[in-house]
A and B are shown apart, each in its own frame.
Chain A
Amino acid sequence: MRKYSVFAVAREAMRAHKGWEAQWTSPEPRSQYDVIIIGGGGHGLGAAYYLAKEHGITNVAVIEKGWLGGGNTGRNTTIIRSNYLYEESMDIYEHSLKLWEGLSQELNYNVMYSPRGVMMLSHNIHDSQVFKRHIHANRLYGIDNEWLTPEQAKDYCPPLDISASARYPINGAALQRRGGTARHDAVAWGYARAASDRGVHVIQNCEVKAIRRGPDGAVTGVETTKGFIGAKKIGVSASGHNSMVLAMADVRLPLQSNPLQALVSEPLKPIFPCVVMSNTVHAYISQSDKGELVIGAGTDQFNSYSQTGGLQIITHTLDAICELFPIFRRVKMMRQWGGITDNTPDRSPIQGVTPVPNLFVNCGWGTGGFKATPGSAHLFAHLIARGEPHRLAAGLTLDRFRTGRLIDEAAAAAVAH
């Protein structure tokens, strides 16, 4: 792999960039791999990379139905944070955040991790109780998260309306300074390039049609649109389509696929320095490096694979955004789109073994998958290589739905009296 650097760019500038090689190869599949990962998003590509790098397993294929990074990796609002409440969540998201901090250097690919701070707005006493519970838990766990007064919040994000006459006035905010954003495509491409460099096969436009199992029940490979491909182990990481893929191995999981929408505005000169979220009014917003306001909307209430959603979801989000930031009412929406999130009953992921030997699953990341990408990929690689979860992912098992040991971050923010 040719190293990327400012010097390489300068050299290429002198010769019309003729010298760049393909970032990843597009090989024909081999007949047999040690590991096949189904799903060429950030999690799947990252897992392949870490399998090769940290576990010495290089006979690996990532099989993607469409184009890599084309699912939720390329459709999200790129927010990164780790200030969750439960230890299981803090473990995995903080692990991920630490990996984000060095990911550009790790992959030699600028993923533009930008710790510009994620600020979560508190609108009432109940919010502030919940946020302080998070802040204290985070602090004692070694994760940064701090309480801001409304004035401090306004200093941090000047477009914010903190007037007391607002319909949902702001009584404070929780700020994670290390939180921020990254460039979504770059994550998929960076992992694909680095994995490809270590011998991983990235196979696009290849749809898995069936999962084959041997007499002992263990997986033996997959039938695809490019024929049968053998595998000793299979990892499934297909976000919104996990249910469909797992059904091929007769595995049913507590997953529901819902549309999640987002939109961007036309590009503006820098006006919005951080990421702001409000759970009470359902909105989150940041500004991309291109200048677009990137706004996350809510989930439609029903199951759908349509990758679109109702206009009323978008408008409700904009209602909320413009209540918080009234100066944006004249700004224009340039593009809206939808992704398919797979959600578990407790809205926390499932990463673990399945009832089928050598079939592993990484699913249920819901609306939080992007921020988890490096951490999830790293731990998923461990799971596949060792056959058992990493310590940091030990709580994410499927068994919790039997025992009742859920990781329910939303329940912890119970509705107020």
Chain B
Amino acid sequence: MLLIHCPYCGEDRSELEFRAAGDAHIARPANIAAISDEEFADYFFLRDNPKGLIYERWRHIHGCGRFFNAVRDTVSDKFVMTYKAGEPKPDLSPAPGVAPALPADSRPVETYEATEGRAE
């Protein structure tokens, strides 16, 4: 069970209080009525499915009720950060030559299941 920081309540709370709500930063097109079938399919169906950091939405449904955004590592399930809806997408990619902003153990370099059956 995950532990999730609600940026509105300022509390770490159990996953049971939250509902996942899919990818973040996918804006509904302002001119939605006018977009093509392909554009609509992209908007409505296509999602990133990264092995590593994912930008996603959660709702503190059994708490303050607010939707917010989170950055989570889909390999370790560890949250890197959460932030309020409407705030810009944080840039977590390291600048060239600079060490990554993430703690070493949350970097998606090695996967758990890739090492299953292979000890180091």
Residues of A within 8 A of B (CB): 65-67, 70, 241, 243-244, 252-257, 301-308, 310-312, 340, 342, 345, 401-403
Contacts and interface: CB of A to CB of B under 8 A. Distances in A.
A22 B78 CA distance: 42
Contacts of B56: 302-303
A169 to B, nearest CB: 27
Contact of B45 (A254, A257, A303): A254
Given A256-B47, A256-B49, A306-B74, A301 B20 contact: yes
A306 B77 CA distance: 7
B15 A310 contact: yes
Contact of B111 (A67, A305, A345, A403): A305
A241 B51 contact: yes
Nearest to A310: B1
Contacts of B9: none
Interface of B: 1-2, 15-16, 19-20, 37-38, 41, 44-47, 49-51, 54, 56, 72, 74-77, 111-114, 116-117
B1 A312 contact: yes
Contacts of A310: 1-2, 15
A320 to B, nearest CB: 17
Contact of B54 (A255, A301, A303, A312): A303
A66 B117 CA distance: 9
Nearest to A246: B49
A303 B112 contact: no
A244 to B, nearest CB: 5
A257 B2 CA distance: 17
Nearest to B14: A312
Contacts of A305: 51, 74-75, 111, 113
A401 B45 contact: yes
Given A302-B20, A307-B113, A402 B38 contact: yes
Given A254-B47, A306-B112, A301 B37 contact: no
Name the residue in A241, A256, A305, A307 with the highest tally of chain B Cβ atoms < 10 Å from its Cβ: A305
Contact of B46 (A67, A254, A301, A312): A254
Given A252-B46, A254-B46, A310-B2, A244 B15 contact: no
A301 B19 contact: yes
A65 B114 contact: yes
Contacts of A255: 47, 49
11 contacts: A253-B46, A254-B45, A254-B46, A255-B49, A256-B47, A257-B49, A303-B54, A306-B74, A310-B1, A312-B1, A340-B113
Nearest to B38: A402
Contacts of B19: 301
Nearest to A71: B113
Contacts of B20: 301-302
Contacts of B76: 306
A311 B75 contact: no
Nearest to A243: B49
A303 B113 contact: no
A63 to B, nearest CB: 15
Name the residue in A254, A303, A312, A345 with the highest tally of chain B Cβ atoms < 10 Å from its Cβ: A303
Contact of A307 (B38, B46, B72, B112): B112
A244 B51 CA distance: 7
B15 A312 contact: yes
A402 B37 contact: yes
A302 B72 contact: yes
B27 to A, nearest CB: 18
Given A310-B2, A312-B15, 13 more contacts: A254-B41, A255-B47, A301-B20, A302-B2, A303-B74, A304-B75, A304-B77, A305-B74, A305-B111, A306-B76, A307-B116, A311-B1, A402-B37
Contacts of B1: 310-312
Name the residue in B49, B77, B112, B114 with the highest tally of chain A Cβ atoms < 10 Å from its Cβ: B49
Contacts of A70: 116-117
Contacts of B45: 254, 345, 401
A70 B16 CA distance: 31
A355 to B, nearest CB: 11
A11 to B, nearest CB: 33
A139 B20 CA distance: 39
A70 B115 CA distance: 12
A155 B42 CA distance: 50
B116 to A, nearest CB: 7
Contact of B116 (A66, A252, A257, A303): A66
A307 B111 CA distance: 10
**The 9 A-B residue pairs with the shortest CB-CB distance in the complex, in nearest-first order:** A243-B49, A254-B45, A301-B20, A302-B20, A310-B1, A307-B113, A402-B41, A401-B45, A401-B41
